Amino acid sequence: MALLSLGLNHTTAPVDLRERVAFDADRLPVALRQLSERFQGVRESAILSTCNRTELFLAVDEVSETQVIEWLAEFHAVEPSALAPHIYRFSELKAAQHMMRVAAGLDSLVLGEPQIMGQFKEAMRQARDAHATGPELEQAFSKVLTVAKRIRTETAIGRNPVSVAYAAVTLAGRIFSDLTRCRVVLIGAGETIQLVAEHLAGQGVTAIDVVNRTLANAEPLAASVDGRAWSLDALGDRVAEADIVIASTASPVPVLGKGMVERAQKVRRQKPMFMVDLAVPRDIEPEVGDIDSVYLYSVDDLNAVVEEGLEQRHEAARQAEAFISEALDDWQREIRGYRAVDTIRAVRESSQAICEAELDRAVKLLEAGKPPNEVVTQLSRHLTNKLLHSPTVALRVAAEQGDLSLIEAANRLFDLPDEEASD
């Protein structure tokens, strides 16, 4: 298999360049079609395009990588000289290794992030729909995804939090056995709170209130998780109904004080409440943590959880690399086996032709009245001589030239006893 992987990602290119060479879904079929039309050596193709990477996966005969890069630049109206320094290239097993690392999340901005496997599957589906892929890439993607699934199930690569947003939701899950039954209040509407909302929605939480000083900023976030948006003056009432409160605003002073939480807990009859303050400076007064039924965590507390999670993921990544190495060894054995296929086929076809010719000759002798025993004996002798003529000549020449490797290979090939061992 002539496999080629070519692209750029968050480690090789700045975000503005990555944005310029990203493929949107509408233009992807056009790009896949152009690859096959422009380059005769490209038999099959697939394109993976995300916010952090654009990669071409190609099954090729003979193709100029420089020309492919020039095509990529032309397609996105980028100067080739501006694009080329940021491109990486892998071929054959190195390409397979790279694909496995990407699909398993080992090459992601966030180590072990799970979305990339689904994006890999989607890239293959789009290539299939565009009739751009075939048996070689299908086989490659199948092996890649098998390894990625094994890494997901047999290591802890994605089980531990590596962002404060994820850590906040993870801690909430440790306090409440069923997050889907909890009501959540999110204070703020910035990027961090958006990530928290996504993680909560991913855990099946549906009762989410978004409270923000500017209601217009809270509304789109609330809508994205089927929640409700509130202005800051409704915070007291919302907290009184909340099991979980997570805050991250840009306020210079706390927006949630001890008195408001105490009043809320009287209404709640002291039911446990989990609070996370992700803001610096703080959004929740530290004294709130003195209330017996409230579990308050600061961003520093979560950073410790994140550091622990990162270390665990790095350990899992080491296991994952071992799985990939094992898979590549198996793949390499398969590739070596493929190299013998043409030879085996040729040997069989040649032998079959000899057998058919001798059989036809034997039938004619029988029809001419020759004794069967004589015909069968002659058939056996002729088959042996003709099948072994070329190997015998090659072995004799090898012996005369001192090429013992061919003789040793023949002993293994025909399962002959070792003469030295016999002696």
So which residues are the catalytic ones?
Answer: 51
User: Cis bond leading into 281, ω under 30°?
Assistant: yes
Edge to edge, what strands does the sheet with 228-231 contain? 228-231, 207-212, 183-187, 244-247, 273-277, 294-298
Who contacts 179 (Cβ-Cβ below 8 Å, separation ≥6)? 169, 172, 173, 200, 203, 204, 205
Handedness of CA 363, 367, 373, 378 (dihedral sign): negative
Pairing label, strands 183-187, 207-212: parallel
What sections of 206-298 are H helices per DSSP?
A: 215-224, 235-240, 258-268
Helix axes 191-202, 164-175, angle to 10 degrees: 40
Who contacts 265 (Cβ-Cβ below 8 Å, separation ≥6)? 271, 273, 291, 293, 294
Whether residue 248 contacts residue 279, with contact meaning beta carbons closer than 8 Å, is answered with yes
Token pair of 279, please?
Answer: 């803001």
Residue 310 one-letter amino acid: L
Residue 37 one-letter amino acid: E
Q: What is the spatial distance between Cα 48 and Cα 56, in angstroms, rounded to a whole number?
A: 7
Q: What is the spatial distance between Cα 133 and Cα 127, in angstroms, rounded to a whole number?
A: 6
Whether residue 133 contacts residue 160, with contact meaning beta carbons closer than 8 Å, is answered with no
Whether residue 225 contacts residue 201, with contact meaning beta carbons closer than 8 Å, is answered with yes
Q: What is the spatial distance between Cα 20 and Cα 78, in angstroms, rounded to a whole number?
A: 8
Token pair of 302, please?
Answer: 């979560």
Token pair of 35, please?
Answer: 């690859």
